[in-house]
Amino acid sequence: MTGHILIAEDDELLRSILQIVLTEEGFEVRACRNGKVAMESLEASKKDGTLPMMIILDLTMPLVDGWQVAKWLDADPMLRDIPVVVRHRAAWRSGQSAAR
């Protein structure tokens, strides 16, 4: 196993696809359905010393969106250096439309 990745994504299908692909590549994956759950998971990771090596973050989620999570990450000295890959639903949907 090469390390664990946290996915914060409200789209259940996309979250599942990312989890399958990353698991097949040898990563442990923690999948969260929204930003609130991701923040709770990261707080627990801080306590037990299992911080993710990377975060995949959807910017548009319910409860706590990715923008809020990113700001929260940036303010935390233990979390701010974790690489974050962001995804925005509007960009994905416009790309999807163009592909048709």
For the beta carbon of residue 26, count every other beta carbon within 10 angstroms.
Answer: 9
At residue 97, the pLDDT reads 42
At residue 61, the pLDDT reads 86
Please give the average per-residue pLDDT across 45-66, as a whole number. 92
At residue 87, the pLDDT reads 85
Phi, psi angle pair for 58, to nearest 5°: -80, 130
Integer angstrom CA distances of residue 29 from 70, 90, 99: 19, 25, 29
Domains of the chain as residue ranges with CATH: 4-99 (3.40.50.2300)
At residue 89, the pLDDT reads 67
How much is the pTM? 0.84
At residue 2, the pLDDT reads 47
